[in-house]
Amino acid sequence: MSAPFPVKWIENKHAQAIEHSPAVDHVLPRGMSRQARSFHRQIPGYRISPLKSLSNLALMLGVGGIWVKDESVRLTLNSFKVLGGSFAMYQFVKSKLGIEDRELSFAELTSDAVRQQLGEITFAAATDGNHGRGVAWAANAMGYRSVIYVHKYTSKARIKAIESNGAQVKVIDGTYDDAVRQVNLDAQQNGWQVISDTSWEGYADIPRWVMQGYTTMLSEAQEQFAAQGIIKPTHVFVQAGVGALAASAIGFYYQLFGQDKPVSVVVEPDAAACLFRSAEIGDGQPHSFPGDLDTMMAGLACGDPSPIAWRVLWDCADAFLSCPEYVAAKGMRVYGVPLAGDPFIVSGESGAVTLGALMFIMERPELQDLRDLLRLDHNSQILLINSEGNTDPNHFRRVVWDGVEQVPGEYKEYN
């Protein structure tokens, strides 16, 4: 039996056919990224995450530049996810207090006076690991309880990381999507407040705030590009689970540049390609992906797209990609053993799949049509997001040290 091909792809012709996206205006109204960043920079320990250049790898692949926004160092939490959860909780508190005419400082947000006004609150979330850890961290910083639901495939390391931030963790016998449904049911019974990065009917404000929070890293990246004399990247490759990060990144650039935005590519695991499937069906609606979603890319193991994220991606994403496990494993190893002169980057499974996909696209002759569609050449300046660091040490070592998920022989470039 032959190994799966490294990249399946589909062009999103709908994105080329529209002139304006109301979905972007709804999710990411102008000025919102400045508000999110103003909040985040007040958090103790906040630092701009680095934008790292893999210039020698770019030369080897025949592109102008590969730039990696390295979120593995974000607030010592090993992931970008805290940006979304904390901003959503900030917006939730503002709404509960009825504050509309001013911003709330982080000191005021975490003050005894605000806690007395709000009373006891338990924040709840479903997670593959990183989102729950961010919600637990933010709830702890604000002085509230948190309950985090995880699915049965969640590693012990990720569970311990959530618990270390003060949360109670409940393991659900099912997938991530089952955990989402269960935490919502239990929250209604127990009076908890759900902080989710995915939306459903009647629940859209908080997921929208989460997506707005993610834009902090994009506004940081724009400053960092400007320091290099680059107005914007020509391409954005972004990984996706429910689609919130992808929609935030692609929508951010659409809001800034309109039709002159970077070429945008959404990358998913073959075992949980709900956005790819939705694009393939092509009716403009989000569609679930069947199966047990068993992929090592734990942060992307989602079968149900977030409807509000999907609407942004349907309007704005240029292509959707689906990749097998070994593509992410290759990305992890290349980040960890870079070409001489390129920086070393610690990247988890979900963080590395975009680099692996880019390398196969540039190296495989069968993907010439995709290279042409995406206009990838020596002028391309490509932005990748390393969305997580080493969040599961045992599995990280199995991939990087032991060579788990090796590239099949027929797709190896170097023998």
* Catalytic annotation, pick one of 128, 304, 342, 392: 128
Q: Output the pLDDT for position 40.
A: 96
Domain match, 228 and 112 both: no
Q: Output the pLDDT for position 315.
A: 98
Q: Could you tell me which of 84, 86, 143, 88 has the C-alpha nearest to residue 117? A: 143
**Chain centroid to CA 242: how far?**
9
Residues in the chain: 415
Residue 3 included in any domain: no
Rounded-to-integer distance, Cα 391 and Cα 241, Å: 17
Phi, psi (deg, nearest 5) at residue 89? -70, -35
Helix axes 244-257, 307-316, angle to 10 degrees: 40
Whether the predicted pLDDT of 127 surpasses 60: yes
Domain match, 369 and 392 both: yes
Whether the predicted pLDDT of 129 surpasses 90: no
- Taking only the tens place, the pLDDT of each residue in 60-89 is 999 999 999 999 999 989 999 999 999 999
285 CB-near residues (< 8 Å, 6+ apart): 278, 310
Q: Which of 106-120, 295-309, 336-350 has the lowest mean pLDDT?
A: 106-120
Q: Output the pLDDT for position 128.
A: 85
Rounded-to-integer distance, Cα 205 and Cα 23, Å: 13
- Taking only the tens place, the pLDDT of each residue in 306-358 is 999 999 999 999 999 999 999 999 999 999 999 999 999 999 999 999 999 99
* Catalytic annotation, pick one of 52, 69, 70, 81: 81
Whether the predicted pLDDT of 92 surpasses 90: yes
Helix axes 130-142, 156-163, angle to 10 degrees: 10
Domain that holds residue 44: 8-79+206-411
Q: 75 and 40 in contact (C-beta within 8 Å)?
A: no
Q: 268 and 243 in contact (C-beta within 8 Å)?
A: no
Q: Could you tell me the CA-to-CA distances from 93 to 29, 110, 191 in Å, in that order?
A: 20, 10, 16
Active site residue 81: yes
Domain match, 187 and 131 both: yes
Final residue of a structural domain among 202, 217, 235 = 202
What mean pLDDT comes out for the span 132-139? Answer: 94
Whether the predicted pLDDT of 257 surpasses 90: yes
Which parts of 258-284 fold into alpha helices (H)? Answer: 274-281
Residue 386 included in any domain: yes
Long-range contacts for 184-189 (Cβ within 8 Å, ≥24 apart)? 186/124, 186/147, 186/149, 187/124
Whether the predicted pLDDT of 126 surpasses 90: yes
Question: Does the pTM exceed 0.85?
Answer: yes
CATH at 142: 3.40.50.1100
**Confidence bin at 413 (pLDDT 50/70/90):** confident
Domain match, 100 and 184 both: yes
Q: Could you tell me which of 279, 275, 328, 270 has the C-alpha nearest to residue 305? A: 275
Q: What is the mean pLDDT of the chain?
A: 95
Residue 2 included in any domain: no
What mean pLDDT comes out for the span 43-53? Answer: 96
Q: Output the pLDDT for position 121.
A: 94
Domain match, 211 and 72 both: yes
What mean pLDDT comes out for the span 352-375? Answer: 98
Q: Output the pLDDT for position 194.
A: 97
Final residue of a structural domain among 202, 221, 244 = 202
Final residue of a structural domain among 202, 221, 242 = 202
DSSP 288: P
Q: What count of Cα atoms within 13 Å lies in the side-chain half-sphere of residue 230? A: 22
Domain match, 263 and 377 both: yes
Domain match, 267 and 344 both: yes
Domain match, 247 and 143 both: no
Domain match, 310 and 398 both: yes
**Chain centroid to CA 233: how far?**
18
Q: 131 and 197 in contact (C-beta within 8 Å)?
A: yes
Q: Which residues are 149's β-sheet partners?
A: 126, 170
Domain match, 93 and 58 both: no
String of DSSP letters for 319-352: EEEEE-HHHHHHHHHHHHSPPTTSPP----HHHH
Domain match, 342 and 249 both: yes
Residues 367, 232, 311: CA angle, nearest 5 degrees:
70
Domain match, 94 and 218 both: no
DSSP 200: B
Whether the predicted pLDDT of 24 surpasses 80: yes
Q: Output the pLDDT for position 1.
A: 65
- 61 three-class SS: helix
Q: Output the pLDDT for position 415.
A: 55
Give the chain's domain count.
2
Residue 66 included in any domain: yes
